Structure 1
Amino acid sequence: MKGRFIVYIALVGWLGGCSVAPQKPADEYRLASMQYLQRQKNWVLEGRLALVDEKDSVSVSISWRHNELQDDIELVGPLAQGRVRISVTPGQVTVDDGENLKVFYGAVDEVLSQQLGVDLPVDSLKFWVLGVNDPRQAYIEQPGGFYQGNWLVRYKEMQTVNAGTLPKRITAEKDKARIKLIVDQWVLL
C-alpha cells in the first residue's frame, strides 16, 4: 500500500522548465492575472509534497519536469529513502521504483484509478501547480483559488520569479484527501 501511495503522490505534481530562484514574496493570489500561464509549455519545479487521506500520510521531495510531450516526476522520501520515478506520455505511464519498472497504458487518471486505486486529477495538476485552472473543465473561482473537478485548489503563498508570479504554497482538497505542495524552485523554459 505504501508503494502505491507514493506513486499516487508522485502523479500529483506535474511540472517542468528552466531554473529560476524566487526573488521575494509576491502579493496574494489572483486567478485573472495568472491566466497567461495556461500557455506555458515547458517548466520544472523542485519542492516538497505531502499527501494525507483517511488512511495514510506521506511526505516526499518532488522534482517535476514538464514539456508538451512528457511529464517526468521524481519523488524521494525522507532522508533520501525510497526513490520513485514516474514518466507520463500520451497513453502511457511508466513507474520505476529502482527495483521494478512497470508500464501502464491508457490515460493517466484512468491508470491511477484502475491500477493504483486512487482518484487523482493528474491531468489538471499540470495547470494547478502553475496557479491556473485546467482550461478544459469548468471551474468556480473562490477567494485564494478555485473549485474544479470536485477539488478545492488554494494558493496559500505566491512568489516572484523573474518578472512574473508563481505559486509557492498550494493545497488541494477533496473529501478527506489533502495535497500540499511547497515549491522551492521554478524554472520556466
Structure 2
Amino acid sequence: MNRRFFAYIALIAWLSGCAVAPEKPAEEYQLTNMQYLQQQKKWVLEGRLALVNEKDSVSVSINWRHNELRDDIELAGPLAQGRVKISVTPDRVAVDDGDNPQVFYGPVDEVLAEQLGVDLPVDSLRFWVLGVNDPRQTYIEQPGGFYQGRWLVRYGEMQAVNADTLPKKMTAEKDKTRIKLIVDQWVLM
C-alpha cells in the first residue's frame, strides 16, 4: 500500500510539472504607445459593464459595434432580461427596449443621461474603451490612465489582441458615478 501511495504522489508531481505555464500578461498601460488607436474606424467588443451612481447599481452584458457613422450598443441583464438596444449617430439616439422604440435628438451624452438616468459618456467612451483619450478634448495623463472631461479613466488590465494591446479592464469615475468595463472579446476591423 505504501508503494501505491508513493507512486500516486510521484504521478501527481510529474503531471503538475507538465502543466502549461500561464501566458505572460500583456504589458502595462501606456497612453503614448496607443495613440494610433484614435484612428481605428471599426471595432466590436463584447463584455460586461457595471454602472453605479448614488441611486442605482446595474450590471449588464454589453455588445458594442462601432463604425465611423454609428455606434450600436446592446445591453442585457442577467439571463438576457432587460435587453436595451441603443443606436447612436451624431445628434441622434435611438433607444429600443423591445416594447417602446424611441428616437431622441440632441447631444448624445445629454440625451442618454436624461433618458436612461445614468451618466454614460458614449461620445468619449468610444475612444476610452480602446485605451486612448478623446482627441476632441484636453486631457491630463495619470498613472494607469488619464483625466478627461471631469472623468478619471483608468486601465486595470490590458490584453493582447492580434498585434495590438487593448484594455481588458477599465474604469471611469466622475463625482458619484462609476463605470466599470471588462472586455471579454475584441474584434478590430
Per the TM superposition, whether the score is higher than 0.5 is yes
Query: Structure 2 vs 1, CA of residues 141 and 68 (structure 1 numbering), >3 Å: closer, same or farther?
Result: same
Q: Counterparts of 1:145-184 in structure 2 under 5 Å?
A: 145-184=145-184
Q: CA deviation at 1:120?
A: 3.4
Secondary structure of residue in 1 paired with 2:127: helix
TM (norm. structure 2) is 0.85
- CA drift of 1:55 comes to 1.1
Q: Which has the higher contact order (CA 8 A, sep 6+)?
A: 1
CA displacement 1:55-107 (0-9 Å, x = unmatched):
11100000000000000000110122111000011221000001110000122
Deviation at 1:116, TM superposition (A): 4.3
Measured on the aligned residues, the alpha-carbon RMSD in Å equals 1.3
Distance 2:124 2:47 in 1: 19
Relative to structure 1, is the Cα distance of residues 75 and 116 closer, same or farther in structure 2, using a 3 angstrom cutoff? closer
User: Is the counterpart of residue 142 in structure 1 residue 145 in structure 2?
Assistant: no
Contact 2:53 2:118 in 1 (8 A): no
User: Equivalent residue for 1:53?
Assistant: 53
Tell me the residue number matched to 2:11.
none
Which residues of structure 1 form unaligned runs of 5+? 1-22
Q: CA deviation at 1:121?
A: 2.1
Q: Is the 8 A contact 1:61 1:76 kept in 2?
A: yes
Relative to structure 1, the CA distance from residue 77 to residue 114 in structure 2 (aligned partners, 3 Å threshold; closer, same or farther) is closer
| Structure 2: gaps (5+ residues) | 1-22
Cα-to-partner distance string for 1:4-41 (whole Å, 9 max, x where unaligned): xxxxxxxxxxxxxxxxxxx8630110000000000001
Q: Does 1:40 align with 2:51?
A: no
Aligned equivalents of 1:29, 1:170: Cα separation in 2: 11
SS state of the match for residue 82, structure 1? coil
C-alpha contact 1:24 1:160 (8 A) present in aligned 2 = no
Task: Give the TM-score, by structure 1 length.
Answer: 0.85
8 A Cα contact 1:24 1:159, kept in partner: no
**Percent of aligned pairs sharing the same letter:** 81
Matched residue, 2:93: 93
Give me the whole-angstrom Cα distance separating, in 1, the residues matched to 2:148 and 2:160. Answer: 25
Residues 102 and 110 (structure 1 numbering): CA distance in 2 closer, same or farther, change over 3 Å? Answer: same
Q: How many residues align?
A: 167
